[in-house]
Amino acid sequence: MKGLFLTHCGQVRNHNEDAGGVFENKSSQPIAVIADGMGGHQAGDVASMLAVENIKNRWEETERVEHPDDMEQWFQQTIKATNEQIYQKSQENKQLEGMGTTLVAAAMVGNLLTIAHIGDSRLYIARGTQFEQLTEDHSFVNELVKRGEITEGDAEVHPYKNYIIRALGTDQEVDTDVKTLTWEAGDRLLLCSDGLSDKLSQTELAQFITADKGMDEIGQQLIDLANQRGGEDNISLILITHDGSGSEAGEPA
């Protein structure tokens, strides 16, 4: 497994409210995390960093995960505790009031991929020439699309396209979407904040991710293009390639 994390402030904002990284537990099993913070007085920085640091620390203390049920339970427990921590801090400090963050995370246990997701940060998978979004935005416009009130094209230009209806840390309790899928040697994952997905269509993302280039080059090209198209938001991404290693555990039964 090979992973790359890149983040950029963008062309408009003077601070970065995104956080992320790729981390390993004591058995070298990897986890990838991106959080896109929100809140006044730079409170979004605090929320996203708390989310990433809490997941990182708990994962690095974990010995090993063998089964998908255990991985899903780990995500649910960890995110519940993280949500409580962020919410509590927002209640204790007026400057942090209302802070929250999106979260998209993926743990790779052999040939199994467990995804946890809150908000509108996304995870995509490229397999051969196929490219698919594996997360569903928890956003106002996506609810309108699901109800058939607007089209996906309408959603892309809707004035409330960045209004999310679920975030980590904004309420005492949070619902987390968690699921486990298989992934194969050669597959490539893209985790990203909306600073990237708002600037490139899914077709464009697919062209970059499936290109026969190194991850460093692809990642930098994506950041550069998002900035060239305005860069109004912070831009963060993680690229991960399944290189065929580490498949001794977590095989489907």
CATH of the domain at 126: 3.60.40.10
| In-domain check, residue 36 | yes
Report how far residue 32's alpha carbon sits from residue 107's, in angstroms, rounded to the nearest whole number: 6
- Residue 194 is predicted with a pLDDT of 96
Domain residues for the domain of 34 are 2-140+167-241
Instruction: From first to last of the 253 residues of the chain, give the pLDDT tens digit.
Output: 779 999 999 999 989 999 999 999 999 999 999 999 998 667 999 999 999 999 999 999 999 999 999 999 999 999 999 999 999 999 999 999 999 999 999 999 999 999 999 999 999 999 998 999 999 999 888 888 888 888 877 777 787 877 899 999 999 999 999 999 999 999 999 999 999 999 999 999 999 999 999 999 999 999 999 999 999 999 999 999 998 875 433 333 2
The Cα-based distances of 26 to 23, 58, 138, 192, 224 in angstroms read 10, 11, 33, 26, 35
| In-domain check, residue 211 | yes
Domain count, the chain: 1
CB 65 within 8 A of CB 4: no
The model's pTM: 0.93
| In-domain check, residue 153 | no
| In-domain check, residue 172 | yes
Give the tokens for residue 165. 């209806």
Report how far residue 116's alpha carbon sits from residue 244's, in angstroms, rounded to the nearest whole number: 23
| In-domain check, residue 112 | yes
- Residue 28 is predicted with a pLDDT of 96
| In-domain check, residue 106 | yes
Dihedral angle sign, alpha carbons of residues 203, 193, 78, 38: negative
| In-domain check, residue 161 | no
- Residue 223 is predicted with a pLDDT of 98
| In-domain check, residue 249 | no
Report how far residue 219's alpha carbon sits from residue 239's, in angstroms, rounded to the nearest whole number: 7
